[in-house]
């Protein structure tokens, strides 16, 4: 990446270091009728100068540019857009400038670069560069990016404590509309009050349901669909650990299914299936399943563990089922419309599950929240689907997750247990 001159930075009320705005007549400053600003550093030579010349025509007021981003972010942003065009790695300053102008216009660069959208009439399909190559300046419709969090409605199950509560708080602080699920009204109201007081966000909505009952899961989906026209992301986070209130005995859900399989897996499976059409209507959208590194293979001859029960195995197979569902769903959906990914957020966070299992925490809520937020909001993950992460790193799940025959059996079993079979009663052949 060609280097640009450094620029002076000043602090802002937003907590970010922003570039000093050049005055009129200074290099990198230009006037236009655009209503929003773009911070553009290094606008006095090379790529910066070329970009400064382009952006006024595209509805932005140029004040400085590229060095405002960390090197890693610059490379990621450039690769995401310019690397897919004829500009490649060897474009002229004018070529690269066109790509960067498009990156800014189309929200590929966020954070320190503040530009949101150009006026609708400024939407050129391309411009001939000085080097004779053409650079596509706007993404294709199928490459649509996730909306900013301030325009998203996000559902989090298990949002009244631990990881879910931390996620809800962070998303609310970033301006999202947050739908918080839990099974206790008092704790739910308290969570809403606490998050509102801490973040100032009043777009918080409480939804009560016991995920041990698939009827209540269906009712939860109905209330989401009836009360919320948008659903841009959902995080299946709710779950129970290897014990229940310190007890290691086998328990069943209200539907008669092994409790961990029912709550940790089937509830999220059914909820996702019921809400998926709304998410497709609101595309692009993201589904994030909070799984675990503690995975155990599913014995399809004893899924409910009636013959041999062990709480650790019950928990592990429910988490592997989440991973298998994620990979299956990703293969089913158009990645440019809805993505599905899953993760092990962090090891032994200080959550109720860990406390109930008598385990000493080994990582912080911040670590797990950061990893999950990345799957929800990171622009570099647009179109990325069907992955399992450990923290923020791509990882390999249990081998059964990649067994297509096992995934098909799980899908057919899940459809049957959740009452989602087609009218003819036969399982899907997909």
User: Residues 262, 268, 273, CA angle at the centre, nearest 5°?
Assistant: 120
Q: Where are the alpha helices (DSSP H) in 106-212?
A: 162-173, 185-199
Mean predicted confidence (pLDDT) in 98-107? 54
Taking alpha carbons only, the member of 101, 81, 87, 61 closest to residue 145 is 81
Instruction: Give a yes or no: residue 144 inside a domain.
Output: no
Instruction: Give a yes or no: residue 399 inside a domain.
Output: yes
Q: What is the pLDDT of residue 53?
A: 54
User: In the structure, what pLDDT confidence band is assigned to residue 164 with cuts at 50, 70 and 90?
Assistant: very high
Same domain, residue pair 372 and 224: yes
What tens digit of pLDDT does each residue of 365-414 get? 788 899 999 999 999 999 999 999 999 999 999 999 999 999 999 999 99
Instruction: Give a yes or no: residue 84 inside a domain.
Output: yes
What is the number of alpha carbons within 13 Å of residue 27 lying toward its C-beta? 14
Counting residues of the chain whose pLDDT is more than 90, the rounded percentage is: 56
User: In the structure, what pLDDT confidence band is assigned to residue 338 with cuts at 50, 70 and 90?
Assistant: very high
Q: What is the pLDDT of residue 243?
A: 80
Q: Among 82, 116, 139, which residue terminates a domain?
A: 139
- DSSP output for 122-142: ---SEEE-TTS-EEE-S--GG
- Active-site positions? 315
Cis upstream peptide for 284 (omega within 30°): yes
For residues 289 and 248, the answer to whether their CB atoms sit within 8 Å is no
Its pTM stands at 0.67
- Number of Cβ atoms within 10 Å of the Cβ of 64: 29
User: Residues 257, 260, 266, CA angle at the centre, nearest 5°?
Assistant: 65
Q: What is the pLDDT of residue 425?
A: 52
Could you give the number of structural domains in the chain? Answer: 2
What tens digit of pLDDT does each residue of 239-285 get? 998 887 667 899 999 999 999 999 999 999 999 999 999 999 999 99
| CATH number (domain holding residue 231) | 3.40.50.720
Mean predicted confidence (pLDDT) in 57-82? 48
Q: Which two tokens stand for residue 301?
A: 């001859």
b/e map 229-245, b = 16+ CB within 10 Å: eebbbbbbbbbbbbbbe
Instruction: Give a yes or no: residue 201 inside a domain.
Output: yes
Q: Average pLDDT over the chain, rounded to whole?
A: 75
Same domain, residue pair 134 and 157: no
């Amino acid at each position: 990446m060609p280097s640009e001159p450094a620029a002076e930075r000043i602090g802002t009320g937003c907590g970010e270091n922003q570039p000093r705005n050049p005055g009129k007549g200074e290099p990198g400053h230009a006037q236009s009728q655009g209503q929003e600003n773009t911070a553009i550093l290094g606008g006095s030579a090379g790529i910066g100068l070329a970009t400064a010349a382009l952006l006024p025509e595209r509805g932005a007021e140029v004040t400085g540019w590229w060095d405002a981003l960390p090197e890693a972010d610059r490379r990621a942003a450039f690769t995401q857009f310019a690397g897919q065009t004829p500009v490649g790695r060897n474009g002229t300053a004018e070529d690269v400038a066109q790509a960067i102008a498009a990156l800014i216009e189309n929200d590929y660069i966020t954070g320190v670069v503040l530009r949101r959208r150009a006026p609708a009439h400024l939407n050129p399909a391309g411009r001939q560069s000085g080097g004779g190559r053409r650079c596509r300046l706007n993404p294709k419709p199928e490459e649509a990016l996730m909306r900013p969090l301030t325009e998203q409605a996000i559902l989090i199950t298990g949002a009244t404590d631990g990881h879910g509560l931390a996620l809800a708080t962070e998303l609310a602080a970033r301006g999202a509309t947050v739908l918080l699920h839990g099974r206790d009204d008092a704790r739910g109201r308290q969570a809403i009050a606490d998050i509102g007081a801490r973040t100032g966000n009043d777009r918080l909505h409480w939804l009560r349901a016991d995920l041990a009952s698939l009827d209540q899961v269906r009712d939860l989906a109905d209330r989401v669909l009836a009360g919320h026209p948008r659903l841009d992301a959902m995080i299946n986070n709710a779950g129970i650990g290897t014990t229940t209130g310190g007890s290691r005995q086998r328990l069943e859900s209200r539907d008669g299914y092994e409790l961990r399989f029912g709550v940790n897996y089937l509830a999220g499976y059914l909820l996702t299936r019921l809400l998926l059409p709304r998410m497709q209507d609101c595309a692009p959208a993201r589904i994030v399943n909070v799984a675990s590194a503690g995975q155990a293979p599913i014995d399809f001859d004893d899924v409910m563990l009636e013959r041999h029960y062990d709480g650790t195995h019950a928990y592990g197979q429910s988490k592997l089922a989440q991973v298998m569902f994620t990979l299956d769903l990703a293969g089913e959906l158009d990645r440019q419309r809805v993505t599905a990914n899953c993760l092990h957020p962090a090891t032994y966070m200080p959550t109720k599950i860990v406390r109930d299992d008598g385990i000493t925490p080994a990582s912080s809520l911040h670590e797990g929240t950061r990893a999950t937020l990345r799957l929800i909001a990171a622009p570099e993950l647009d179109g990325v689907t069907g992955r399992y992460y450990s923290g923020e790193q791509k990882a390999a799940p249990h081998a059964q997750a990649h067994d297509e025959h096992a995934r098909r059996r799980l899908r057919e079993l899940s459809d049957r247990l959740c009452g989602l079979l087609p009218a003819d009663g036969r399982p899907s052949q997909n």
